[in-house]
Amino acid sequence: MSATSARDSCTGCPWPTRGSGRVSTGACCSWVRRCIPAGSTGRRGAATPPCCSATAPDAEKLWVDAPGLAHDPFISAELIEEGKHRAVMEGREVFKFASVLMPQSVATALKANGVTPADVKLLVPHQANLRILEMVQKAIGLRDDQVYVNIAKYGNTTAASIPIALHEALCEGRLKRGDLLIMTAFGSGFTWASAAIRW
């Protein structure tokens, strides 16, 4: 993000007010206070590798075939005519995996950092499906006020869902310096990840 970007009035962060799904950590280094490294050094701004995983056998249950390097050329009129550029999802399979793997990923992030669900100020999950969010919340054992949900406003905005939700949570005063933030996501591939951040 360029230095000339407009700053948001409520956070001072140079993110655009509408979610782009992109985060420039350099631009936001004073905004994101501190990630909690496993075996913590406690250095301000130190980033912990997120607790993430992927499973290749399930790739075609949630994916977009083209454009892609498996095709030569990687996109063509024929691929578009065949609908290969459209997302494909097996909803039941996605629900089954996401509702189990997202809580497991959060548990791994919490354990790696020596914290518990009671320590969490706010969970900002990928806003895929309200039922998945409710199952994730229940599996982790969080109260309603510990989970940020805005899916009813926007639907599933895919890669932009966490940045949009985090932006709104900040604007609403749901996070302050020193709070423990957990972010978790599940997506195509299947891939899933969680991160614990000391704000």
71: left (phi over 0), alpha (psi -120 to 50) or beta: beta
Specify if 15 maps to a domain: no
Specify if 71 maps to a domain: yes
User: Does residue 171 surpass a pLDDT of 50?
Assistant: yes
More confident residue, 159 or 138: 138
Specify if 187 maps to a domain: yes
Q: Structural domain of residue 93, as residue ranges?
A: 34-198
d(CA 87, CA 61): 10
Type of residue at 121: K
Q: What is the pTM of this model?
A: 0.69
Specify if 21 maps to a domain: no
**Phi, psi (rounded to 5 degrees) for 122:** -150, 135
Specify if 169 maps to a domain: yes
For residue 69, name the pLDDT band (cuts at 50, 70, 90).
Answer: confident
Specify if 93 maps to a domain: yes
Specify if 17 maps to a domain: no
Q: Residue 90 sits in a domain of what CATH number?
A: 3.40.47.10
Q: For the chain, give the number of residues.
A: 199
